[in-house]
Amino acid sequence: MQQARSSVTTDIVIFGGGIAGLWLLNRLQQQGLDVILLESAGLGGGQSLASQGIIHGGLKYALNGVLSPASSAIAGMPERWRRCLQGEGDVDLRGCQVLAPHYFMWSGGGYRSRLKSFLGSKALRGRIDALTPAQYPAFFRNRPLEGALYQLTDFVMDTPSLIAHLAAPHRARIFQVPAQAVTAAHGEDGALQHLLMTSAAGEVVTLQAQRYILAAGEGNADLMALLGGAARDTLPAMQTRPLHMVHLQMTAPDPAFVHCIGDSFGMTPRLTITSHPDGAGGWVWYLGGEIAESGMQRSPQEQQAEAARQLRDTFPWVDFSGARWGSFFINRAEPRLSNLQRPDTAYLHASGPLLVTWPTKLTLTPDLGDSVCAELARQGLAPAAHTASAAALLSRHFAFPGIAKPRWEAAP
């Protein structure tokens, strides 16, 4: 068995370099704690870059006219994120790119779609405005629209910019360590003692922390199995919600940022569309909503054909003839609740030195930061004296992971 050649201690180790893990890194460093973040691949390469970047305030959970717990929990999140963008919030996001300062909801002409939009607008009174044609964004202006167009408090972040911005102040504390290069040492009582990390050169580093925070999305399941030891059976179970996301690249002159409310009995928007610059003067449209949920039953070819049909029917003024289509499968990871429903708030479970977390929704990331900071304060965790810099030692063996590419850029 290979012996460890280096040993170092720190206050906090965060697993997962998505938006949740990077946000926690910023919050905890602000509190004077010594924090190291470990990522197995590229930053944001899991759920973060697969998200649409919408900072939403609950409309999609209020289309039945009732303020659900989920809708209430995230009502103030757009304003909280905006304070961060102004440099007045928990994390300074000044200079981070916003793709759209507002998001929209379009009811279309069907009876049920108009009813759902109306009920949602009443439930969220004060957070949603019906627009006159003179107020329409460029994409909808001078179009023969049926139904109503609403402006929401929601807005859209550029997720690669957000990831880069969160990582920039702490690059020296972020390291790429492949999952297979990490093992855990437990005592006779099954309690976690430290991590053993093997570098590409075969050198082993022992890393010990006061607390270990799991913020790796779907990767949390394997991490709980690796680190849990005697407490493994008391740790939370995970559930995943699969999606089949669609993207198309084209030269449309105006971007679209809109929930298209359908005529089905379901309460999920039929299409949720965001637009992302492709670097060549065009746009990548990225599609979520009901089409992504039902698309799990379709092959990529079938899903892209269905998306093309719906888009042509919905936006007859857009020329999709030269679009390049793609799709991919992604799992949303979250704690498994007894009723198998979506969690309403960010999730934290503390067990010994482990904190298992899921933000459950991008917009709730600040809420997760609050929960973790409050839990560590409750536990009385304080910065410890360390004989050497963990970041300096780890930098000799492990590199900064870099930022992953969005799926439409990574696609062949």
SS3 of 18-36: CHHHHHHHHHHHHCCCCEE
Question: What pLDDT, on a 0 to 100 scale, did the predictor assign at position 48?
Answer: 97
Residues 286 and 370 in one domain: no
Residues 187 and 300 in one domain: no
Question: What pLDDT, on a 0 to 100 scale, did the predictor assign at position 261?
Answer: 85
Whether the per-residue pLDDT at 79 is higher than 80: the answer is: yes
Residues 246 and 353 in one domain: no
Residue 348 domain boundaries: 6-48+162-237+338-410
Residues 210 and 263 in one domain: no
Sheet containing strand 54-55, strands side by side: 54-55, 155-157, 98-100
Pick from 276, 311, 333: which residue ends a domain?
Answer: 333
Residues 246 and 385 in one domain: no
Residues 140 and 272 in one domain: yes
Question: What pLDDT, on a 0 to 100 scale, did the predictor assign at position 72?
Answer: 64
If you ran DSSP here, which 8-state letter would residue 237 be given? P
- pLDDT tens profile 149-162: 989 889 999 999 99
CATH code of residue 305: 3.30.9
How far is the C-alpha of 195 from the C-alpha of 205, rounded, in Å? 8
Show the beta-strand stretches assigned E in 82-139. 98-100, 104-106, 128-130
How far is the C-alpha of 348 from the C-alpha of 363, rounded, in Å? 16
> Mean pLDDT over residues 56-69, rounded?
56
> Mean pLDDT over residues 309-338, rounded?
93
pLDDT band at 412 (very low <50, low <70, confident <90, very high): low
Whether the per-residue pLDDT at 411 is higher than 70: the answer is: no
Question: What pLDDT, on a 0 to 100 scale, did the predictor assign at position 47?
Answer: 95
> Mean pLDDT over residues 237-253, rounded?
92
CATH code of residue 200: 3.50.50.60
pLDDT band at 203 (very low <50, low <70, confident <90, very high): very high
Sheet containing strand 149-152, strands side by side: 128-130, 149-152, 104-106, 258-260, 271-277, 283-288, 238-250, 324-335
CB-based contacts of 39, cutoff 8 Å, min separation 6: 16, 17, 21, 174, 175, 176, 177, 401
- On whether the CB atoms of residues 358 and 220 are closer than 8 A, the answer is yes
How far is the C-alpha of 70 from the C-alpha of 2, rounded, in Å? 50
Q: Are strands 238-250 and 204-214 parallel, antiparallel or unpaired?
A: unpaired
When the pLDDT of each residue in the chain is averaged and rounded to a whole number, the result is: 89
- pLDDT tens profile 24-62: 999 999 999 999 999 999 999 999 999 999 998 865 554
Residues 204 and 249 in one domain: no
Q: Are strands 258-260 and 104-106 parallel, antiparallel or unpaired?
A: parallel
> What is the radius of gyration, based on Cα positions, of the chain?
22
Residues 303 and 357 in one domain: no
Whether the per-residue pLDDT at 17 is higher than 50: the answer is: yes
Residues 247 and 376 in one domain: no
Report the number of distinct structural domains present in the chain: 2
For tokens 């709980």, what's the residue? 224
